[in-house]
Amino acid sequence: MPLPDAKHLSMPFSALGLSPDLLRAVSASGYLAPRPIQAAAIPAVLQGRDVLGAAPTGSGKTAAFALPLLQQLQQAPGDKPRRVRALILVPTRELSSQIGEAIRRLAKHLPRSLKVAIVFGGVSINPQMMGLRGGADIVVATPGRLLDLTAHNALVLSGVSVLVLDEADRLFDLGFSDEFGRILALLPPQRQNLFFSATFPPAVQALAQTLLRDPVRIDMLSEPQDRPDIVQRAMAVDARRRTQLLRHLIQENAWTQVLVFVATKHAAEIVADKLRKARINAEPFHGALSQGKRTQVLADFKASRLKVVIATDVAARGIDIAQLPVVVNYDLPRSALDYIHRIGRTGRAGESGVALSFVSADTEAHWRLIEKHQRLSLPCEHMAGFEPLPAAARAIAPPTGGVKGKRPSKKDKLREAAARG
């Protein structure tokens, strides 16, 4: 399918075949004009075609499938009790809530009510089972909890007419391939399939070839007009002084909101604690937190009651913070694909943003691999006082900060603690 040209990019939603009711819902939701992925996908979905959509995070994929999906369900006869006609599978709890709430906002303007169920693990299953009494028209789910609910006979998937996979690559990244196979066995063979993703590793490509029937292919990843406006930077830093540098940058640049990515849950807790001791409002965000705590952290961050969130890669998908100005890779991601999803938390919906990566002597080689994969060539910036030590200097540097051959004094220990940030 040809990509939208400049003429298509300026077309109104009314030119895409949406009903008057949905056009009113679009207007009430604050959408001014369709994004490129929406202009390309909405007519194809309304025609009943399978879709394979490649688009960067924050490009408007949710509305691209939600709007035509709602129109299809409005035009179909209502069932009593309701049967699940649309299933949206996502990799994380946060993404399921984000997509489900977006669909609910659009659906509330329609003349016939549609029930949207949002289900995910990490919380008690009983309230979700109660909420599914009487059925649902649309289910937004993580794979594990969806299978739990079908095992409890709270959901029947034999009536699903549309399957949506959002962030399909992450579903396979997180090891959901077995669960996905079991879910497919519960679905009717005749259905419309919509796959959306920001990257297409081999597992997703193979699945698309197997399941999609003559799909409309939409590739927005290579189009300059729809690339996020993100200024990418790299900064060389001594690994032991990253927290001090982060603190300095937050204060020096007066950043109002910062999402910081670290490698482990422990690091998230430690860095957040050190920032709080420096009187910077920060909270950790990782998979070991209760769902209530994760929800509260995101709510505070979105409402600007919280300045810094220190997150593991659980937050690389599903966090949608309007006008988030800065993302920092405190620890580099494991792969170049994770790099895409991390920095995609900023520069969303046409806004601009900054993505800054800390590069230490030990991670420089890994950073070069990320650069090569992303076709980047970024100058590695230096800030006085935070530069990484050469390997030889690190080898002979006293680990405690004391004089070689002497037991470190209390003052030496305090200096070392300060240096670690």
Write out the CATH class of domain 228-388: alpha beta
Confidence category of residue 77, pLDDT binned at 50, 70, 90 = confident
User: What's the pTM?
Assistant: 0.70
Confidence category of residue 4, pLDDT binned at 50, 70, 90 = very low
Confidence category of residue 403, pLDDT binned at 50, 70, 90 = very low
Query: 98-128: buried (b, 16+ CB within 10 Å) or exposed (e) per residue?
Result: bbbebbbebbebbeeebbbbbbbbeeeeeeb
Give pLDDT, residue 357. 96
Please check whether residue 387 is in contact with residue 237, taking contact to mean a CB–CB distance below 8 angstroms. yes
Question: Among 61-75, 144-158, 200-214, where is mean pLDDT lowest?
Answer: 200-214
Give pLDDT, residue 317. 61
And the tokens for 366? Answer: 């890994």
- Of these ranges, 172-176, 321-325, 389-393, 400-404, the one predicted with the greatest mean pLDDT is 321-325
Confidence category of residue 3, pLDDT binned at 50, 70, 90 = very low
Q: Give me the architecture of the 6-224 domain, per CATH.
A: 3-Layer(aba) Sandwich (3.40)
pLDDT of 350 > 80? The answer is no
> In the chain, where does the domain assigned CATH 3.40.50.300 lie?
6-224, 228-388
Give pLDDT, residue 10. 55
Please check whether residue 78 is in contact with residue 115, taking contact to mean a CB–CB distance below 8 angstroms. no
- Average pLDDT estimate for 203-210: 85
And the tokens for 145? Answer: 């909890």
Question: Among 368-372, 403-407, 410-414, where is mean pLDDT lowest?
Answer: 403-407
Report the mean per-residue pLDDT for the chain. 84
